[in-house]
Structure formats: C-alpha cells, structure tokens
C-alpha cells in the first residue's frame, strides 16, 4: 500500500500570502489529522477530519483551516501568512477516528515564510 503523500514538499511564501497544502491518506483510511512542527513549540495538533467533518481542533487561530473531500484527501489552508508560520506541516491518516488507532505520517511540507 502506498503511504501518506503530501504535496508540495517545499514551499516558500512571503508574509501576507496564503497557502494550501494537500494530503492524500493511505487507501481506506478515513481520518486525516494535521500537525505543525517547529523547533520552539515542537509538534502541535492542528485539526482532524473524519468523513468530511472536522472532529477536533487544536489551539490555532482561524487563519488555519482545512477540509476533507469525499475520497478522504485533505487540504489545509493558511491565510495571511506570518513569519511564525514557518514550519514543517505533517499530515497523518488512520483507519478510524479512534484515539487508539495508529496514525501514519506523511513526509511533511516544509513551509518557509519570508
């Protein structure tokens, strides 16, 4: 089975722009979660989608949003980019949205905001 794929792998944007990141989960997985990884804050949960519905949301401003499509693929959007949004954005998929489920991570999208 193919793993979780994320596109693009690298992005460079300037402050004030917006960006859309894409995640394709493992075939058959219906839950997709997003995480932000920075040297200072570590790994932080952004949100989770299951069957096209947002199930959980982390403590991030409304500039961070996401959605999930009927084929379980997910996108996250960050509007009005700030320097502090520079990070590795990781997507993870699991079969169900149970907390006991193993999450499988993609390689991440490295976003640099100048």
Residues that bind other proteins (CB under 8 A): 4, 33, 35, 42-45, 48, 56-58, 90, 92, 99-100, 102-108
Minimal distance, residue 57 CB to other proteins, in Å: 8
How far apart are alpha carbons 104 and 109 in whole angstroms?
Answer: 15
> Nearer to other proteins by C-beta: 15 or 57?
57
Q: Least Å distance between CB 30 and other proteins?
A: 14
Nearer to other proteins, 78 or 94 (CB): 94
CA-to-CA separations, 62 to 4, 42, 68, 101, in angstroms, rounded:
26, 20, 17, 27
Give the residue with the Cβ less far from other proteins, 18 or 27: 27
Distances (CA, A) of 33 to 17, 64, 82, 93: 23, 13, 22, 6
Closest distance of CB 16 from other proteins, Å: 28
Sign of CA dihedral 100, 23, 44, 88: positive
Q: How far is the CB of 10 from other proteins (least distance, A)?
A: 10
């Amino acid at each position: 089975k193919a793993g979780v794929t994320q596109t693009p792998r690298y992005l460079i944007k300037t402050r004030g722009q917006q960006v859309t990141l894409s995640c394709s989960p493992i075939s058959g997985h219906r839950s997709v979660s997003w995480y932000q990884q920075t040297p200072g804050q570590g790994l932080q949960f952004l949100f989770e989608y299951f069957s096209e519905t947002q199930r959980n949301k982390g403590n991030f401003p409304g500039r961070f949003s996401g959605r999930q499509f009927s084929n379980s693929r997910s996108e996250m959007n960050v509007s009005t980019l700030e320097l502090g949004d520079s990070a590795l954005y990781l997507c993870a998929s699991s079969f169900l949205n149970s907390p006991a489920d193993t999450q499988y991570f993609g390689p991440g999208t490295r976003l640099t905001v100048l």
